[in-house]
Amino acid sequence: MSGAISYTWRGPITDEEMVDLVRSHGGNAVAGWWNEVKEHSLGWVGARDGDGVLVGFVNVAWDGGDHAFLIDTKTRGSHQHRGIGTAVVRLAVAHARASGCEWLHVDFEPGLRGFYHSACGFRATDAGLIHLPSTR
């Protein structure tokens, strides 16, 4: 496996690659998810190793105007803590800005605060959240 990582904006990514990436770090992969989601995205960043294996990903959803939303940041389990996650987020930020978005939002678990705030430059804000299945 080559050490060189390449990054693309809106490059081709198959649903099978996404399932493999999610499973590589113990996530719950759902076949067909990526084929449905990508149609609603402003764009996404894929990171590939020298052999072409998908090792990093982030999706940028948007409202069609000023607001973009960073979701589904993923790094292959064997490639974590090498700066790949930070690089995909930085490239996503640059493309959201270039697309004319004014704001880029991200939600995350408390354990990822250092990653998003320190490594990626996000700042804390007030927000609200409703867990919809719990409010029936």
Question: pLDDT-derived band of residue 1, with 50, 70 and 90 as boundaries?
Answer: very low
Q: Which two tokens stand for residue 72?
A: 């589904």
67-90 pLDDT tens trace? 999 999 999 999 999 999 999 999
25-75 pLDDT tens trace? 888 999 999 999 999 999 999 999 999 999 999 999 999 999 999 999 999
Percentage of the chain beyond pLDDT 90 is 84
- Between CA 92 and CA 57 the distance in angstroms is 10
- Between CA 130 and CA 114 the distance in angstroms is 24
What is residue 102's predicted lDDT score, i.e. its pLDDT? 95
Question: pLDDT-derived band of residue 111, with 50, 70 and 90 as boundaries?
Answer: very high
What is residue 63's predicted lDDT score, i.e. its pLDDT? 94
CB 5 within 8 A of CB 84: yes
Find all residues with CB under 8 Å of 24, minimum gap 6, and list them: 76, 77, 78
Mean per-residue pLDDT of the chain: 93
Domain boundaries, the chain: 6-125
Helices (H), 1-136: 15-24, 33-37, 84-98, 113
The CATH architecture of the domain made up of 6-125 is: 3-Layer(aba) Sandwich (3.40)
- Between CA 9 and CA 112 the distance in angstroms is 23
- Between CA 119 and CA 106 the distance in angstroms is 14
Is the per-residue pLDDT at 123 higher than 60? yes
Is the per-residue pLDDT at 92 higher than 80? yes
Label residue 57 exposed, middle or buried (CB < 10 Å: 0-12, 13-18, 19+).
buried
